[in-house]
Amino acid sequence: MKKQLITIFLMMFFCLNAGAKSVKSELNSIINSSNINKNSISVSVKEINNGKMVYGLNDGILMHPASVQKVLTLTSAMDVLKEDYEFTTKLYSDKKGNFLFKLSADPYLTDNDLKTLVNTIDKTKIKSAFVDGSIVENKDWGEGWQWDDDMNTCMPKFNSYNLNGNVVNITIMPDTKSGKTIIINPSKYPLVFINNVVQGDEDKVDVIRENNLSNTYTLNGTVKNPNIISIPVNNLKNCFYVKLTNILHDKNIYLMENIKDGGLNSNYVLKTQVSHPVSIAVDDILKNSNNMSSEMVSKLAGAKAFDGAGTDEKGVKVFYQYCEKMGIDTSRVRITDASGVSKNNLMYSDFITEFLYKNKDNSVVNQMAVPGVGTLQNRMIPLQNNLKAKTGTLSDISSIAGFLTSKSGKKYVFCIMINDPKSTSSDKKNLEDYLIRAMYLNL
């Protein structure tokens, strides 16, 4: 009987090792047959039940994580904010006719929200209007962001004065009477356009800001049909004040003085408020990789955890303190923002899988996208019931990390980071997909 048990154990041992060798060989073969430099690829795969490494390649090498980082910083920020947190913009008034808009850095605040607040104002009682934007620092972008990419609508500026996603939508369309093209700007925010767009057989328009501080834009290209173009707002505070002034005017409220900066004091009484739940941001960050929302949630967590306005530094501090609480070693990693946009961020794949492993039961982490949703809209659809992941994309960088249930029913955490300037984005993402499929079939 003893000999039989030993024989069975040895058979199981060799079978398990053969399986491990099989998946290792398969993943190595896929990587070696790709046109991507092996030294630019970092992979870590661990069993979800015990954190044991089942495959690693350059898993301790520091790389840029891109938006995969959002999962980590969002999890730590939500540990501070809690799931019932709301972005709440408030309107106060005092007995002297002063009204104060107390901003919450809400990334989902819209014109309609401001109209809801303004509609409660009696025009016969208002004398002055003030705005308090002190909840977060007056800083538009993160450290290490690519300033030459300021026209990217996925990277709008952000601060307390967020409104309408911090973009202005214009329409450029052919004018059948004149044979030229016309630009319509319904936002009432003053922008200057140099229109070089002509009518043509295709819709292809390029927008160039004259300089980083300008509200003058040059439009080149052709249009066949009306085109809606989003332009990132250059001066958020100025845009917010212009929009609020116009909303007041629409209600026939004309102030003796322009809207001014102000601060809340004991003379003010809350009149009304508008709110958006943080759950909207969590979903948007994990599924659509919203950079502005990611940065706002992190800064607001910093503001709640520490005194004063929310800052990048405080949000980063929240992250490091959370990792310390979870027993995750951060001695070798560096982050400077929440969204992963900065190329000053450095992580290694084993760190990311360790974070996911220790947070496998966290409700935030488990809201990552599945195939067919968000940034996984057109990727790995057959694995829809077996994969939850967060993707990341920057110039020269692609990454993906999450949870995988293999064909055999076993569960794993994984991270793939590719930092390679010589391959295309599609090449990197195809390699990620092949590796994940091989994990699904062979683990």
Domain ranges of the chain: 19-81+280-442
Residue type, 160: S
pLDDT band at 212 (very low <50, low <70, confident <90, very high): low
Residue type, 91: L
- Average pLDDT of 428-438? 95
> Residues in the chain, how many?
443
**pTM of the prediction?**
0.90
| Residues 95 and 287 sit within 8 Å (Cβ to Cβ) | no
Three-class SS state of 269: strand
Q: Report pLDDT for 13.
A: 34
pLDDT band at 147 (very low <50, low <70, confident <90, very high): low
Q: What is the pLDDT of residues 59-75, one digit of tens each?
A: 999 999 999 999 999 99
Strands (E), 1-95: 41-47, 53-57, 86-93
Q: Count the alpha carbons within 13 Å of 94 in the hemisphere toward its beta carbon.
A: 14
284 vs 213: CA distance, rounded Å? 29
96 vs 78: CA distance, rounded Å? 39
Regarding the domain delimited by 19-81+280-442, which CATH topology (the fold level of the hierarchy) does it fall under? Answer: Beta-lactamase (3.40.710)
DSSP assignment string, 336-368: SSSSS--TT-BB-HHHHHHHHHHTTT-TTGGG-
43 vs 358: CA distance, rounded Å? 18
Q: Report pLDDT for 5.
A: 35
Q: What is the pLDDT of residues 72-117, one digit of tens each?
A: 999 999 999 999 999 999 999 999 999 999 999 999 999 999 999 9
C-alpha 217: how far from its chain's center? 26
Q: Determine if residue 165 is left, alpha or beta; phi over 0 gives left, psi from -120 to 50 gives alpha, anything else beta.
A: left
Q: Report pLDDT for 152.
A: 74
